[in-house]
Amino acid sequence: MPHTDFTVLPGTPQPLGATWDGEGTNFALFSANATKVELCIFDDDGKEEIARITLPEFTNQIYHGFLPDLKPGTLYGYRVHGPYEPHNGHRFNPNKLLLDPYARGHVGDIIWDPAVFGYQLETGDDTTFDERDSAAFIPKCVVVDRDFDWKEDPDWQQVPWERTIVYETHVKGFTKQHPKVPEGERGTYKGLANPAVTDYIKSLGVTTVELLPVHTFVADQFLIEKGMTNFWGYNSIGFFAPDPRYAVSPKGSVQEFKDMVARFHDAGLEVILDVVFNHTAEGNEKGATLSFKGIDNASYYSLQPDNPRFYNNDSGTGNTFNLSHPQVTRLVSDSLRYWVQEMHIDGYRFDLGTVLGRTPTGFDKNSAFLQHCGLDPVISSVKLIAEPWDIGPGGYQVGNFPPGWAEWNDKFRDVVRSFWKGSAGVKELVPRLCGSADAFNHDGRRPWASVNFIAAHDGFTINDLVTYNEKHNDANGEDNKDGSSNNESWNCGVEGPTDDETINLLREKQIRNLIATLMFSQGTPMLLAGDEFGRSQGGNNNAYCQDSDISWINWEIEHKGQSLIRFVQKLTTLRQTYPMLHYTRFLNGELKEDIDTKDVTWIKEDGTEFSPEDWDDGERKRVGMLLDVRGYASDTSKAQEDCPLLILFNSHHEDVDFVLPEHIGGSTWKLLLDTNQPDMTDGSTIENSKPLKLVSRSLSLLALQLTPEA
């Protein structure tokens, strides 16, 4: 039995977690239904429990105590006593070591042993009670010193939404094979902070790096047994701790993460975290007891009201975090504030965000949590992005989040894929080019609320989108049954890689078409890391379990990949240069009579405007998008960069002579970009009413050359 010769003082119930104040550490843990809480202190290796201390005070449902002289670096966990009554929603078992929900640091990995389950695993009956000690198999919490010299970071200014270009990546996958990162730092926060990495990302013209989950997460037992792991990290168990697997020194994970953020800010790049508050890694009633389940199961989880032994499962992972409970809402809010105030991150993308707005009557954009995020002075000061769907009833909520939120827009993804594949027409494409006003133009929301993407971590890369008609997920060990079969992909005639140069050239052009459409559409573009040089996952569209070459970015970039990088850099430069490509208001196509023009006009091949009858032709595959917001808003000027723009789309398999329209203010158009000429340096100038050859499956961008009096 461990000794208990530590001095213990009453301490305070606030703040929750383990807080070092320079003289000792205060411990505070919420549990509404526990009867006793024991703090367990471990040796430096986390193997031996050297002290077990009953927290002496219980104030407002919070157990607390203060240990003088207990310093940062100390490893600890909790044992929580109370009723083991699964039928009443209670699963207390003091034989199980539990992670502190507010722990700022973790060390070690879970070892999947029957002892980590609160019930006798061998029986399969979760109403049984297991007496085995789980401490040897559970990660340990770390008391953290919060001190860090941010130097110039307080002067950091976030990127305005309308100028934001998101770059989604994975801490480990991005640098695991990076030749300019020291081998011992590859796959870590420190590796991602390497100047070679930040300089490259900055060079792309993106502004904001969105990291897949970095909260401490658990690798599922069934994956470990198959020799795989939960690579993406959507299985959180600690909402305040950066995962130690991404640290060179696990005990120093907080410092390493802070340094990474500081280096990104030095490079002028924002950092956004993908966060998972919809569920935890503890699974359903048959899952392990790691933290919340053993601390206060009935408070932390959404249980079935008629039988609280079982969990509501709106997340599809076995449980749903109970954001209807004020203490759970507080935990999530405290976590969000912590990562902003202490770790200096610039925003969040909320996985399965619909769960966060669920009430007993269904999704409600006015739910307490969603409204709280919009009103809290800290949380509302950063970017908030929802994945606006879950698997629960009424789970698809694209466009229905409150003002102040942005949302992933899968409508954009699906329609743009279909258009360039050839299965969707102009009529379907047009709303997506305009920021999906049909979904987002309400409550004073702006076009940036639509986060547009062609590819994300979940699904095909853009290269694979034009290389495979079918998913190829055999490496996942599920007989290729996992992952979506509805990808709107087109292999251009051959499944997989080919030596056919004609097909390869078409694929490269299709990639350029897709990314150009993304960058020239109203809304906030998001680019998947590696898509800028044609990265492939071999047709795997569900690489969540692949900590391997499938998921790791290969930095041996071929000539065609380098060409695509240059093309993407040109796209981002054009987007930032021309305000009409990141306009702050929704386009409506209404005539502004005092200047005799519209903010957007849709042009046919003959250079004339679309008529109502033209829109009835659902098979149209060509359209010109004429943008001119001069005189519409105070946020534009008379600079050359505000000149009208014309974007021409042709997803048809035949070339067309596209007559350039006459337009007020100028008589010639200059070709700025052509996806059929990726390395074009200085485009030609074409007079009004003259044709431009728009080749099959291509996109062109032109700018009106304004006359001085315009």
Residue 639: per-residue pLDDT: 47
Please state the rounded mean pLDDT for residues 93-113.
97
Please state the rounded mean pLDDT for residues 32-38.
98
At 396, is the secondary structure helix, strand, or coil?
A: coil
Residue 536: per-residue pLDDT: 98
Residue 630: per-residue pLDDT: 81
The four Cα atoms 680, 686, 688, 690 give a dihedral, to 10 degrees, of -100
Per-residue pLDDT tens digits for 572-616: 999 999 999 999 999 998 887 766 789 999 999 999 999 999 998
Nearest of 665, 699, 705 to residue 685 by alpha carbon: 705
Q: DSSP readout, 416-466?
A: HHHHHHTSS-HHHHHHHHBT-HHHH-STT--GGGEEEES--SSS--HHHHT
Token reading at 55? 């927290």
Nearest of 117, 113, 99 to residue 42 by alpha carbon: 99
Among all residues, which ones are annotated catalytic? 351, 387
Please state the rounded mean pLDDT for residues 552-579.
96
At 404, is the secondary structure helix, strand, or coil?
A: coil
Say yes or no to pLDDT of 147 above 50.
Answer: yes
Residue 474: per-residue pLDDT: 96
Residue 638: per-residue pLDDT: 47
Strand partners, 686: 669
Tell me the pLDDT of the chain averaged across its residues: 94
Percentage of the chain lying above the pLDDT 70 cut: 97
What's the length of the chain? 710
The residue behind tokens 């047994």 is: 225
Instruction: Give yes or no for a contact between 107 and 101, defined as CB atoms under 8 angstroms apart.
Output: no
Say yes or no to pLDDT of 31 above 80.
Answer: yes
Q: Can you tell me the distance from the alpha carbon of 81 to that of 93, in angstroms, rounded to the nearest whole number?
A: 6
Residue 61: per-residue pLDDT: 98
**pLDDT class of 2 with cuts at 50, 70, 90:** low
Please state the rounded mean pLDDT for residues 172-197.
98
Q: Which of 379-393, 451-465, 638-652 has the lowest mean pLDDT?
A: 638-652
Say yes or no to pLDDT of 458 above 60.
Answer: yes
Highest-confidence segment of 4-13, 29-38, 141-150: 29-38
Q: Can you tell me the distance from the alpha carbon of 61 to that of 78, in angstroms, rounded to the nearest whole number?
A: 16
Q: For every residue of 137-204, which 3-state class applies, written as one string?
A: HCCEEECCCCCCCCCCHHHCCCCCHHHCCEEEECHHHHHCCCCCCCHHHCCCHHHHCCHHHHHHHHHC
Q: Can you tell me the distance from the alpha carbon of 293 to that of 281, in angstroms, rounded to the nearest whole number?
A: 10
Say yes or no to pLDDT of 377 above 90.
Answer: yes
Q: DSSP readout, 312-328?
A: --TTSSS--B-TTSHHH
Helices 253-266 and 195-203: crossing angle in degrees, nearest 10, is 40
Instruction: Give yes or no for a contact between 647 and 699, defined as CB atoms under 8 angstroms apart.
Output: yes
Residue 637: per-residue pLDDT: 46
Cα–Cα distances in angstroms (integers) from residue 671 to residues 546, 601, 659, 687, in the given order: 43, 18, 13, 11
Residue 22 neighbours by CB under 8 Å, 6+ apart: none
Query: What's the whole-model pTM score?
Result: 0.96
Beta strands 358-359 and 362-363, pairing class? antiparallel
Nearest of 419, 447, 444, 453 to residue 600 by alpha carbon: 447
Q: For every residue of 288-302, which 3-state class applies, written as one string?
A: CCCCHHHHHHHHHEC
Q: Can you tell me the distance from the alpha carbon of 476 to that of 545, in angstroms, rounded to the nearest whole number?
A: 7
Beta strands 383-386 and 362-363, pairing class? unpaired
Say yes or no to pLDDT of 636 above 50.
Answer: no
